[in-house]
Amino acid sequence: MREKVLEVLERECPDVDFLASDKLVTDGIVDSLTLTSIIAALTMEFGIVIPYEEIIEANFDSVDGLTAMVERLTGA
């Protein structure tokens, strides 16, 4: 799942190095517009609905956090 999530992220935001940090939001690597792209891409790719409660830094700070969120929402 992690590889798949990373592939989607890199395809959606080719300018962003998602492996550069495990504090992507805190470090400003992921801003609100990048966040928008990520949410749209993951929703389309995995057919999930990301509720507001999941829009927290811990979920978007790293590829691992994003993968865990997708797994939770897909029930994988």
Partner 1 sequence: MSLVELRFFIFAALVVLLYYILPKKVQWLVLLTASVAFYLTYGWEMLPFLLASAVIAYFAGRKIEQFQVAFRKDTAAAKKRCKPVLLTAVALLAALLVYAKVGTAVMAAITELLHAQQLSAFPVIVALGVSYYTFSLISYLADIYRRQDKAEHDFLRLLLFTIYFPKVLQGPISRHKNLAPQLLEQHRFDYKEFCFGLQLMVWGYFKKMVIADRLAIFVNTVFGNIAGETGAHLLVALVFSAVQIYCDFSGCMDIVGGFSQILGLKLEENFDRPFFSKSAAEFWRRWHITLGTWFKDYIYMPIVISPRVIGLSKKVRDKFGVRPGKAVMTVVPLTAVWLLTGLWHGTGWTYIIWGLYWGALIICSTVFEPEIKKITKALHINTETGSWKVFQMVRTFLLFVFARMLTVPGSAYNILRVGKRLLLRFHPEGFFDGSLYALGLDRPNFLLALVCIGVLWGVSCMQEKGICVRERIAGSNIVFRWAIYYIGFFAILIFGVYGPGYDAASFIYMKF
Residue 44 binding partner 1, by CB under 8 A: yes
- Contact pick of 16, 35, 63, 73 for partner 1 (by CB under 8 A): 35
73 touches partner 1 by CB under 8 A:
no
* Range 9-16, long-range pairs (CB < 8 A, 24+ positions): 9/38, 9/41, 9/63, 9/66, 11/41, 12/37, 12/38, 12/40, 12/41, 13/37, 13/38
Q: Which residue in the set 3, 52, 75, 76 belongs to the binding site for partner 1 (CB under 8 A)?
A: 52
Under the binding rule (CB under 8 A), the answer on residue 53 touching partner 1 is: yes
